[in-house]
């Protein structure tokens, strides 16, 4: 009997996805560049299963049922192109290549188009959930050649995480690089969620002077509220984790955050598309700032250490912080969905935002109860332009406003950096202001560069230039936005 699917790449993600597929009754053919890893896998974790090995790409191709489905779980970038180049001459028209790595979506756009010309279908799929997700149920976000989906759907939906209603956290996202785009935004939101939690931690630790056991208890309690999520849950575990000397391990970890690019790509795409994705972008910058460790140490000496004590009833502050975190999180998701909406419009992807929320509901790093509410919001209005306008989320934003402002103001007053919580509030203030000071900005642009402006008392699209100093001419710059 031939294999149902081939997987190339036997590192942590590939091995665990293969074992997951095997558990669901699929016969998987496993291949890896370094052939010894095939043996190690077959004689190790795959021992006693139906999984078979292939030591060359030809052997892999020969062992698969038609149309062949071959999933790459390898390092993103050139490695993917190199496998595609080697596979294509061995494949038949109608065969399917799937890239399950963390690929930047323009690469997927390019690969879908290039392979289409050769009659090969290509799926670019985000896979989230890390090792455990891959093994027992990841969130899977596939996009690319729609013709390929019916062949891959049963396998992907079987191995994916399920919601509490047993719905698979995997559905077709859209054409071209839509799946990888949605995975990129997922990772950007992950950056935002993590940054928000760290800001709450610093406020509790430095501002309220709380112990790690106290903070752990707060996160355990928060996990029983609307903040219920995987990241809040692991944060409570981390805060309670003691090093061998009995001290909290987290305080021994160097405070410089790493990043592998997906948050940065999300920010770059937001800038490219003109979407004010402030919270996620602040989170990326917060990681950049954290990496300037030596400079920060010198600067603290130069400027003096801040005494960031927050006075007042601790319990009141903790509840205010919870509300500020929740409200900021709504803004982060609202901005992420604005970005997806713009990308969907620009690329003709016709994204289903409720389905995206469903795919993130389980299996992935940002899984949370909150995503069910997002799904509900898009069920009510599939074209919702701002998540915060949905009645459920609007209610939370309004109820949290006073506490959120108090936390933001206090952080500024005592010098606790909270870039994501404060920028989220500033965004909402801007978004809910009908008239912003951009009129003055337009006047400045016209003053120094004759960039022209529109008038509130004239139809939109009519542009004016003023000779502000009496010394300039009447020639204006060409009006366009980039």
For ligand NBP, the closer CB: 138 or 336: 138
State the CB neighbour count (10 A cutoff) for residue 164: 9
For ligand NBP, the closer CB: 17 or 286: 17
Which two tokens mark 179?
Answer: 């799946």
Contact characters 460-479, ligand NBP, x per CB under 6 A: --------------------
For ligand NBP, the closer CB: 61 or 450: 61
Only segment of 7-15, 281-289, 304-312, 354-362 that touches ligand NBP (CB under 6 A): 7-15
Nearest to 112 by CA among 54, 50, 181: 181
For ligand NBP, the closer CB: 138 or 419: 138
Judged by CB under 6 A, the residue of 10, 270, 320, 418 near ligand NBP is 10
Catalytic residue among 37, 63, 69, 190: 190
Q: What are the b/e assignments for 205-225, b being 16+ CB within 10 Å?
A: bbbbebebeebbbbbbebbee
Q: What are the b/e assignments for 281-290, b being 16+ CB within 10 Å?
A: bbbbbbbebb
Shortest distance, CB of residue 51 to ligand NBP, whole angstroms? 15
Q: Which of residues 91-110 bind ligand NBP (CB under 6 A)?
A: 101-102
Cis peptide before 123 (omega within 30 of 0): no
Shortest distance, CB of residue 293 to ligand NBP, whole angstroms? 25
Shortest distance, CB of residue 9 to ligand NBP, whole angstroms? 4
**Alpha carbon distance 440, 174 (integer Å):** 41
Shortest distance, CB of residue 335 to ligand NBP, whole angstroms? 23
**Alpha carbon distance 41, 15 (integer Å):** 8
Tell me the torsion sign for CA atoms 402, 405, 407, 413.
Answer: negative
State the CB neighbour count (10 A cutoff) for residue 59: 14
37 is catalytic: no
Only segment of 9-17, 41-49, 188-196, 265-273 that touches ligand NBP (CB under 6 A): 9-17
**Alpha carbon distance 172, 141 (integer Å):** 7
Shortest distance, CB of residue 73 to ligand NBP, whole angstroms? 5
183 is catalytic: yes
For ligand NBP, the closer CB: 57 or 330: 57
Shortest distance, CB of residue 139 to ligand NBP, whole angstroms? 10
**How many residues contact ligand NBP, by CB under 6 A?**
20
Which two tokens mark 316?
Answer: 């009141």
Contact characters 191-230, ligand NBP, x per CB under 6 A: ----------------------------------------
For ligand NBP, the closer CB: 33 or 405: 33
Judge whether 397 and 388 are in contact, CB under 8 Å.
yes
Catalytic residue among 37, 63, 183, 264: 183
Q: Which of residues 25-84 bind ligand NBP (CB under 6 A)?
A: 32-34, 37, 73-76, 79
Q: How many CA atoms lie within 13 A of 427 on its CB side?
A: 26
Shortest distance, CB of residue 102 to ligand NBP, whole angstroms? 3
Only segment of 3-11, 53-61, 385-393, 440-448 that touches ligand NBP (CB under 6 A): 3-11
For ligand NBP, the closer CB: 317 or 360: 360
Q: Which of residues 114-153 bind ligand NBP (CB under 6 A)?
A: 127-128, 130
For ligand NBP, the closer CB: 12 or 441: 12
Judge whether 52 and 27 are in contact, CB under 8 Å.
yes
Which two tokens mark 4?
Answer: 């149902």
Of all residues in this chain, which one has the CB nearest to ligand NBP in the complex? 101
| SS3 call for 98 | strand
Which two tokens mark 276?
Answer: 């004010």
**Alpha carbon distance 290, 278 (integer Å):** 18
Judge whether 98 and 71 are in contact, CB under 8 Å.
yes
Cα–Cα distance list, 468 to 197, 443, 462 (Å): 49, 9, 19
Q: Using CB atoms within 10 A of its CB, is residue 311 exposed (0-12), middle (13-18) or buried (19+)?
A: exposed
Shortest distance, CB of residue 125 to ligand NBP, whole angstroms? 10
Which two tokens mark 443?
Answer: 């006047």
Nearest to 155 by CA among 92, 85, 70: 70
Judged by CB under 6 A, the residue of 6, 9, 177, 362 near ligand NBP is 9
Residue 175: strand pairing partners: 144
For ligand NBP, the closer CB: 248 or 363: 363
How far is CA 197 from its chain centroid? Answer: 15
Is residue 13 near ligand NBP by the rule CB under 6 A? yes
Shortest distance, CB of residue 75 to ligand NBP, whole angstroms? 4
| SS3 call for 69 | strand
> In this structure, what DSSP letter does residue 11 have?
S
Residues forming the site for ligand NBP (CB under 6 A): 9-14, 32-34, 37, 73-76, 79, 101-102, 127-128, 130
Residue numbers annotated as active site: 183, 190
């Amino acid at each position: 009997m031939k294999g149902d699917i081939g997987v190339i790449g036997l590192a942590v993600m590939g091995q665990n996805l293969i074992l997951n597929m095997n558990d669901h009754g699929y016969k998987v053919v496993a291949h890896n560049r370094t052939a010894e890893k095939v043996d190690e896998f077959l004689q190790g974790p795959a021992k006693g299963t139906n999984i078979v090995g292939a030591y060359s790409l030809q052997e892999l191709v020969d062992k698969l049922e038609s149309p062949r489905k071959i999933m790459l779980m390898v390092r993103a970038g050139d490695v993917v192109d190199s496998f595609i180049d080697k596979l294509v001459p061995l494949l038949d028209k109608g065969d399917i290549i799937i890239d399950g790595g963390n690929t930047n979506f323009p690469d997927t756009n390019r690969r879908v188009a290039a392979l289409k010309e050769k009659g090969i279908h290509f799926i670019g799929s985000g896979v989230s959930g890390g090792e455990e997700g891959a093994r027992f149920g990841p969130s899977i976000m596939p996009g690319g050649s729609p013709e390929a989906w019916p062949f891959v759907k049963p396998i992907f939906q079987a191995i994916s995480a399920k919601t509490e209603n047993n719905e698979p956290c995997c559905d077709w996202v859209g054409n071209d690089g839509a799946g990888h785009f949605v995975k990129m935004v997922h990772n950007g939101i992950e950056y935002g969620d993590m940054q928000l939690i760290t800001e709450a931690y610093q406020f509790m630790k430095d501002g309220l002077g709380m112990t790690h056991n106290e903070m752990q208890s707060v996160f355990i309690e928060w996990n029983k509220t609307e903040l219920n999520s995987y990241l809040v849950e692991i944060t409570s575990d981390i805060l309670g984790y003691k090093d061998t000397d009995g001290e909290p391990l987290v305080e021994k970890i160097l405070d410089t955050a790493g990043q592998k690019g997906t948050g940065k790509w999300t920010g770059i795409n937001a800038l490219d598309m003109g979407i004010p994705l402030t919270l996620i972008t602040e989170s990326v910058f917060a990681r950049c700032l954290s990496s300037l460790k030596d400079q920060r140490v010198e600067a603290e000496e130069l400027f003096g250490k801040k005494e960031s004590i927050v006075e007042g009833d601790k319990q009141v502050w903790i509840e205010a912080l919870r509300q500020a975190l929740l409200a900021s999180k709504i803004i982060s998701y609202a901005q992420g969905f604005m970005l997806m909406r713009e990308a969907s419009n620009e690329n003709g992807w016709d994204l289903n935002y409720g389905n995206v929320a469903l795919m993130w509901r389980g299996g992935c790093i940002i899984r949370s109860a909150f995503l069910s509410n997002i799904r509900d919001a898009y069920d009510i209005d599939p074209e919702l332009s701002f998540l915060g306008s949905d009645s459920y989320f609007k209610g939370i934003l309004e109820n949290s406003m006073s506490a959120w402002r108090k936390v933001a103001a206090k952080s500024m007053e005592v010098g606790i950096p909270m870039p994501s919580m404060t920028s989220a509030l500033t965004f909402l203030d801007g978004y809910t202001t009908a008239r912003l000071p951009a009129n003055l900005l337009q006047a400045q642009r016209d003053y120094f560069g004759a960039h022209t402006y529109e008038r509130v008392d004239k139809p939109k699209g009519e542009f004016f230039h003023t000779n502000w100093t009496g010394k300039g001419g009447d020639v204006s710059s060409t009006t366009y936005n980039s």
